[in-house]
């Protein structure tokens, strides 16, 4: 008997079948009872696994895997499907990073991060007095970086795809856009929350304008037409021709600066992965222009010296050590990290034992180090709230970890008129002015200053982890500056605190990032009053905040089975076979 949960459900029968499905997972607090999809938060399967932020995106990946596609093919199908079913973050108007490891241990990373337009300039978000103009890098046409997703997916397919016809990989997405998808209550509420912004920052009406309801069939014909152009013409279906014309016209109807030349020049780049040891694990992660890989590896290097497994989970020793390591690492990020095509990132120094030992010289196990007494480290050696993550392992054992984003929810809120997709507001990830925080409270400096064609610094941390040289974990999350610390905690929860993947992903998280000088903890959390008082007595400032991250991860179990876990914090869905 086929398991009903595993049957692929075509959109045209969604109306009749899915309406009767009520969310079944018990631990999802935020969107409990809001989903109409049969969401699986944890599954264990023999051969292949897809975990994404939306059930229909997961199913697009499974569909392609079952047609004989490999993990890369499935990832491409998921990326395009997310554009339709999860447009707050899934996108063709944005960018991202991919970590790939083949079954034969070939490792690679693809940087399809957005770039600053050719006419962007260092002070473009400042007024005549040199002050940052509030919101200009976050909303509207001037906030948009040149999108990288379509070029990224094409490059990934050319190098590693196994289904020859690229267009096939867009079929699930096109079907969802043409035939429509049923909106869950969570999705409908999310669209409704942003109605005012959609109206304020758009120059033309579009399908996102009107109020949405749970159970509504939502079609996106303009987006379907755009996807069909990409299916038929590849690169030229997006960066040239009708789509490019529509995008440039959209820019010109307001204060946007992306031109045809910007689109034509966009180039995704294969970069050498960061590979760092941690005990008997190998961390494979993203080099600049993401700060994620370097920061994660710095954190792991720092904590390796401490008897972490002797600490109790979420004890004051655990939280204090992590927060102290994090404030030093984020101070380094602010000064030393930027797009390595434009700025010399002292990667080897930042990751050296000597340097990190020096950074922790001021660590006091009983007392917080105030952030204003911490600066970025001296490099002595000269060296030449929306994103989404998905994790895939195919039947052969190839693994893909992709984090992809428009930056904020629905990016700049600008929809390309006539083309049906949202554009990013990734320009806010640059440092608009030294020391002035961006939307994630992150400060930056010269290393991350705006320059034409430069990529803005990211925190995205798609990661693949090996244990004893074998595939162990595929992991990543959205969450802006909290991405790095969420991946850090998920991995250490398993490796050091002996948790199974489900507990590691679902347990409450905390976060520190140098400035502001705070430890953030999740609301309704398991952090006891006594613990919070103890941390305060040590000098930490504690603040509760909204959920941190949405980790979608896969763990290879000792018997070779795959455990897929989708974060309880959303409608994320794991499925395999
Ligand atoms: O690249 C970055 O670090 C940010 N643009 C990511 C934004 C993000 O994760 C928002 N999600 N909640």
| Average pLDDT over every residue of 384-405 | 93
pLDDT-wise least confident of 250-264, 369-383, 469-483, 555-569: 369-383
CA distance 32 to 26: 7
Question: How many Å separate Cα 575 from the centre of its chain?
Answer: 20
For the stretch 144-175, pLDDT in tens is: 999 999 999 999 999 999 999 999 999 999 99
**Strand intervals (E) in 240-288:** 269-271, 274-278, 281-285
DSSP state of 504: H
CB of 385 sitting under 6 A from ligand 1: yes
Tokens of 261: 């030349």
Residue 467: the pLDDT is 98
pLDDT tens-place string over residues 438-496: 999 999 999 999 999 999 999 999 999 999 999 999 999 999 999 999 999 999 999 99
On the question of pLDDT at 4 being above 50, the answer is: no
- Exposed (0-12), middle (13-18) or buried (19+): which is 529, by Cβ within 10 Å? exposed
- 17 burial via Cβ count (<10 Å: 0-12, 13-18, 19+): middle
For 72-83, the pLDDT digits (tens) are 999 999 999 999
Return the H-helix or E-strand segment holding 564. strand 562-566
Over residues 418-433, the mean pLDDT reads 98
Q: Residue 18's pLDDT is what? A: 36
Q: 344 an active-site residue?
A: no
pLDDT tens per residue across span 319-372: 999 999 999 999 999 999 999 999 999 999 999 999 999 999 999 999 999 999
Band the pLDDT of 375: cuts 50, 70, 90.
Answer: confident
- Is the CB–ligand 1 distance for residue 459 below 6 Å? yes
Of 141, 453, 109, 398, which Cα lies nearest the Cα of 270?
A: 109
Under the phi-then-psi rule, with left for phi > 0, alpha for psi from -120 to 50, and beta for the rest, what region is 372?
A: alpha
Instruction: Specify the DSSP class assigned to residue 145.
Output: P
Distance of CA 460 to the CA centre of its chain: 5
Task: Identify which of 98, 407, 454, 485 to mutate to test ligand 1's pocket (most ligand atoms within 8 A of the CB).
Answer: 407
pLDDT at 378: 75
Residue 207 has pLDDT above 60, yes or no: yes
Question: Given this model, what pLDDT does residue 78 score?
Answer: 98
**Residues 326/514, Cβ–Cβ less than 8 Å:** yes
* Residues 516 and 489 sit within 8 Å (Cβ to Cβ): no
Q: Distance from the CA of 69 to the center of ligand 1, in angstroms?
A: 29
Q: What pLDDT shows up at residue 3?
A: 40
Torsion of CA 61, 45, 70, 486, to 10 degrees: 70
- For residues 306 and 8, the model is more confident at 306
Predicted local confidence at residue 376, as pLDDT: 80
Are the C-beta atoms of 74 and 564 separated by less than 8 Å? no
Residues 356 and 329: their CA atoms lie apart, in Å, by: 9
Q: Which domains are assigned to the chain?
A: 48-116+131-269+386-430 (no CATH), 271-385+461-558 (1.10.246.130)
As a whole number, mean pLDDT of residues 377-391 equals 71
From atom 11 of ligand 1, which residue's Cα is the shortest distance away? 386
Report whether pLDDT(13) > 90.
no
pLDDT at 271 over 60: yes
Residue among 87, 456, 480, 550 whose CB has most ligand 1 atoms within 8 A, to mutate: 480
pLDDT of residue 523: 77
**Nearby residues of 236 by Cβ (< 8 Å), 6 or more positions away:** none
Q: Measured in whole angstroms, how far is the alpha carbon of residue 204 from the centre of its chain? A: 29
> What is the percentage of the chain residues whose pLDDT exceeds 70?
93
Rounded to the nearest 10°, the torsion over CA 58, 59, 61, 67 is 160
115-152 confidence digits (pLDDT tens)? 999 999 999 999 999 999 999 999 999 999 999 999 99
Rounded to the nearest angstrom, the distance between the alpha carbon of 429 and the centre of ligand 1 is: 8
- The per-residue DSSP string of 100-136 comes to EE-TT--EEEEE---B--TT--TTTTB-TTS-B-TTT
564 lines ligand 1 (CB under 6 A): no
Q: How much is the pLDDT for 525?
A: 67
| pLDDT in the model for residue 7 | 34
Point out the ligand 1 atom lying closest to the alpha carbon of residue 291.
3
On the question of pLDDT at 33 being above 50, the answer is no
Whether residue 403 has pLDDT greater than 70: yes
**What is residue 114's predicted lDDT score, i.e. its pLDDT?**
98
Among protein residues, the one with the nearest Cα to ligand 1's atom 2 is 458
How many CB atoms lie under 10 A from the CB of residue 507? 18
Q: What is the pTM of this model?
A: 0.93
pLDDT value at residue 499: 97
Instruction: Please identify, by atom number, the ligand 1 atom nearest to the C-alpha of residue 550.
Output: 12
Q: Kindly tell me if the per-residue pLDDT of 28 is higher than 60.
A: no
* Ligand 1 atom closest to 482 (CA): 9
CA of 55 to the centre of ligand 1 (A): 21
Query: Which ligand 1 atom is at minimum distance from the Cα of 478?
Result: 9
> How much is the mean pLDDT over the chain?
92
| pLDDT of amino acid 524 | 64
387, 388, 461, 463: the catalytic one is 387
Place of tokens 């200053």: 449
Could you tell me if the CB of 424 is within 6 A of ligand 1?
no
């Amino acid at each position: 008997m086929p398991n009903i949960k595993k049957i692929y459900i075509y959109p045209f029968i969604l109306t009749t079948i899915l309406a009767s499905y009520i969310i079944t997972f018990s631990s999802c607090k935020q969107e409990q009872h809001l989903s109409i999809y049969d969401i699986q938060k944890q599954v264990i399967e023999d051969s292949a696994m897809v975990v994404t932020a939306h059930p229909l995106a997961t199913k697009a990946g499974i569909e392609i895997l079952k047609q004989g596609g490999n993990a890369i093919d499935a990832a491409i199908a998921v990326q395009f499907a997310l554009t339709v079913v999860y447009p707050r973050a899934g996108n063709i108007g944005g960018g991202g990073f991919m970590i790939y490891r083949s079954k034969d241990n070939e490792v690679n990373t693809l940087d399809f991060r957005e770039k600053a337009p050719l006419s962007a300039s260092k002070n473009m978000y400042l007024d005549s007095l040199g002050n940052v103009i509030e919101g200009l890098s976050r909303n509207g046409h001037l906030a948009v970086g040149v999108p990288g997703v379509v070029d990224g997916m094409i490059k990934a397919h050319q190098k590693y795809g196994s289904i020859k016809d690229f267009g096939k990989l867009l079929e699930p997405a096109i079907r969802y856009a043409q035939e429509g998808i049923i909106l869950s209550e969570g999705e409908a509420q999310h669209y409704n929350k942003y109605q005012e912004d959609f109206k304020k920052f758009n120059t033309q009406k579009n399908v996102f304008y009107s109020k949405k309801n749970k159970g509504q069939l939502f079609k996106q014909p303009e987006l379907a037409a755009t996807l069909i152009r990409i299916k038929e013409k590849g690169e030229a279906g997006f960066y040239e021709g009708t789509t490019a014309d529509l995008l440039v016209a959209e820019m010109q109807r307001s204060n946007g600066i992306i031109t045809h030349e910007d689109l034509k020049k966009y180039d995704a780049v294969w970069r050498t992965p960061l590979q760092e040891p941690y005990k008997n694990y190998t961390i494979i992660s993203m080099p600049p222009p993401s700060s994620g890989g370097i920061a994660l590896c710095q954190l792991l290097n720092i904590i390796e010296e401490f008897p972490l497994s002797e600490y109790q989970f979420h004890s004051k020793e655990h939280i204090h050590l992590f927060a102290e390591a994090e404030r030093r690492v984020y101070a380094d990020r602010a000064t030393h990290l930027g797009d390595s095509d434009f700025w010399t990132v002292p990667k080897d120094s930042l990751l050296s034992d000597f340097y990190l030992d020096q950074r922790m010289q001021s660590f006091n196990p009983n007392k917080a180090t105030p952030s204003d007494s911490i600066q970025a480290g001296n490099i002595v050696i000269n060296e030449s709230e929306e994103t989404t993550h998905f994790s895939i392992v195919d039947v052969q054992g190839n693994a893909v970890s992709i984090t992809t984003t428009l930056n904020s929810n629905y990016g700049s809120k600008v929809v390309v008129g006539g083309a049906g997709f949202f554009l990013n507001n990734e320009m806010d990830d640059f440092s608009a002015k030294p020391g002035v925080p961006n939307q994630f409270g992150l400060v930056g400096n010269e290393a991350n200053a705006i320059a034409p064609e430069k990529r803005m610094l990211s925190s995205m941390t798609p990661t693949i982890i090996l244990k004893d040289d074998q595939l162990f974990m595929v992991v990543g999350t959205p969450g802006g500056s909290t991405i790095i610390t969420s991946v850090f905690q998920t991995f250490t929860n398993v490796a050091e605190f002996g948790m199974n993947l489900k507990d590691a992903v679902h347990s409450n998280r905390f976060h520190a990032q140098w400035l502001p000088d705070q430890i953030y903890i999740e609301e309704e959390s398991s952090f006891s009053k006594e613990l919070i008082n103890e941390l305060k007595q040590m000098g930490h400032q504690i603040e509760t905040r909204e959920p941190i991250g949405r980790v979608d991860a896969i763990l290879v179990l000792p018997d070779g089975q795959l455990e897929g876990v989708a974060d309880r914090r959303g409608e994320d869905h794991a499925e395999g076979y």
